[in-house]
Structure 1
Amino acid sequence: MLISVLQAQMFFLVVTRVLATIIHVPVLGGNTIPNQVRLAFGITLAVVLVPWQSQAAASDPGMTLFPFALAIGREILVGTVAGYAAAITFGAIQMAGETMGLGSGFGSGRVLNPAMGESGSPMDALFYTFSILIFLVMNGHHMFLVGLQKTFEVMPVASTLPVLKPDVIIGMTTGLIVAGIRMALPVMGALLLTDLVLGLLARVAPQIQVFFLGMPLKIGVGLLVLSVALVAFIPLLEDLFQQIAPRMLTLLAGEG
């Protein structure tokens, strides 16, 4: 089978888009995955997702250097826009965990979260790990790959640039921020009630050291409420992960 220059260039553009998209999903191309593995995985996905058609090697000379460089930049932009839907989804989950951790007293002990490549509270790491497990159990990675394949139908390789509408991007980002706050509300509400109780206790019995009593109490309340609310979080997380692929296509299509 002969491979033309144009065909090799198109395959390289496909690999570029795939790699620019999967780096936003921690379990597929996150910071913890070596570059060699990401590159091999991207090439494998490109072979699977895009049909391979043979043609004569001399049938087309291919793109010159400058148009090819522009096409590479375009595919990086398309992959980044598509991956933004996954990035803000996992970012909303991390925001929820970070909010719960700050109010419960875990904010003073920062640990490295390798999945995100930055530090966070232990509760943040716990909630984020639980979310990743839900993502894998419900085959969210399969849904993401299906959405990645459909991006080549919505926005073919070496076609026009995506139409980015600020209202669509802002609306999507706002919705996911609200979803993250909603997930943090049970723990935040319980911690607010705990602060109110401690404040009343300080007024009734001033001799009690409320500061030293409140720290372990808030940690215990936060962990207790989180463990009870994890069951209620599962449907919310499933809905967030199921909408990653539609959000990718919405961003590329520029439709609200």
Structure 2
Amino acid sequence: MQPLLQLTDAQIGGWVASFILPLFRVASMLMTMPIFGTQVLPQRVRLYVAVAITVVIVPGLPPAPTVDAISGQALLLVAEQIIIGALFGFSLQFLFQAFTVAGQILAIQMGMAFASMVDPTNGVSVAVIGQFFSMLVTLVFLSMNGHLVVFEVLTESFTTLPIGGGLLTAHYWDVVLRMGWVLGAGVLLVLPAITALLVVNIAFGVMTRAAPQLNIFSIGFPLTLVLGMFILWVSLGDILNQYQPLAANALQWLRELARAE
């Protein structure tokens, strides 16, 4: 009695190259990118989403090279896809971490560094203002369909960075290093608030020198906290104008990363 289904090594290798290799790139990006790569979303759910996305995009992808499923070449290709997907995910982390850093700096300046909570996305303790900025940028990113742009760039990357095309090029890593400058924008986001709070602290210093008997801590701490909350409330009115150029640059760098040659 002959088996109902006979598979050759070439057919198995073709299936591995056409589905499994793209799955590694998609899954590695989902495991490292913000929102989808957080601890809030279980790993099993992320894997299901990665399989669903791969099933949808595989029919439109260019043909992949046929490899032996258990050969060393297949392992190298898997490692290549994991590195590319992880770089895509980590590059998006710069955008979100810029706002988190801005919130941390502002919390320190206004005396709320002690008010911390456990960040459910990363599992670490952060200042509440940093967590507020992180939640805010997440909602704005989703409302402006930033995740759809990321998935579009990921799909295009299989054409611009084909499987087996290599990735160790100077331009590729230059784009990765340039993305790190997004973190510097976190300081610029809260620079007006930092400047205003610095003026307040200088004023308290002058008061302390003028009246040493004045208990400046009992007056300065609550006043600095109230003024810091007011400055934060005023600065939130312009948060969208500050977010848009940062998000545009981050997504543009992501496109350059996918088209690196």
Q: Of the candidates 237, 246, 249, which is equivalent to residue 243 of structure 2?
A: 237
Q: Check the 8 A contact 1:162/1:254 in 2, yes or no.
A: no
Q: Of the candidates 69, 73, 77, which is equivalent to residue 79 of structure 2?
A: 73
For residue 26 of structure 1, what is the amino acid of its counterpart?
P
Q: Distance in 1 between matches of 2:70 and 2:179?
A: 38
What is the SS of the residue equivalent to 1:120? strand
Q: Of the candidates 9, 15, 18, which is equivalent to residue 8 of structure 1?
A: 15
Shift of 1:230: 1.2
Shift of 1:249: 2.9
Higher relative contact order (CA closer than 8 Å, sequence separation 6+): 1
State how 1:15-26 maps to structure 2 within 5 Å: 15-26=23-34
What is the SS of the residue equivalent to 1:106? coil
Q: Of the candidates 120, 142, 149, which is equivalent to residue 143 of structure 1?
A: 149
Q: Check the 8 A contact 2:197/2:224 in 1, yes or no.
A: yes
For residue 9 of structure 1, what is the amino acid of its counterpart?
V
Q: Distance in 1 between matches of 2:220 and 2:161?
A: 55
State how 1:1-256 maps to structure 2 within 5 Å: 4-10=11-17, 11-51=19-59, 62-165=68-171, 166-174=173-181, 176-254=182-260
What is the SS of the residue equivalent to 1:111? strand
Q: Distance in 2 between matches of 1:212 and 1:22?
A: 48
> TM-score scaled by structure 2?
0.85
For residue 58 of structure 2, what is the amino acid of its counterpart?
V
Q: Which protein is bigger by CA-based radius of gyration?
A: 2
Shift of 1:65: 2.5
Q: Check the 8 A contact 2:102/2:187 in 1, yes or no.
A: yes
Structure 1 unaligned spans of 5+: none
Q: Distance in 1 between matches of 2:39 and 2:113?
A: 23
| Identical columns (%) | 26
Shift of 1:99: 0.9
For residue 135 of structure 1, what is the amino acid of its counterpart?
F
What is the SS of the residue equivalent to 2:36? helix
What is the SS of the residue equivalent to 1:50? helix
**Total equivalences in the alignment:** 249
Instruction: Calculate the aligned-residue CA RMSD, in Å.
Output: 2.5
What is the SS of the residue equivalent to 2:192? helix
Structure 2 unaligned spans of 5+: 1-5
Shift of 1:217: 1.7
Q: Distance in 2 between matches of 1:222 and 1:7?
A: 60
Q: Check the 8 A contact 1:26/1:116 in 2, yes or no.
A: no
Shift of 1:123: 0.8
For residue 160 of structure 2, what is the amino acid of its counterpart?
V
Q: Distance in 1 between matches of 2:122 and 2:196?
A: 27
Aligned in 2, Cα 1:81/1:13: closer, same or farther, shift over 3 Å?
A: same
1:172-194 CA distance string (max 9 Å, x none): 312x1231111021221121011
Aligned in 2, Cα 1:205/1:76: closer, same or farther, shift over 3 Å?
A: same
> TM-score scaled by structure 1?
0.87
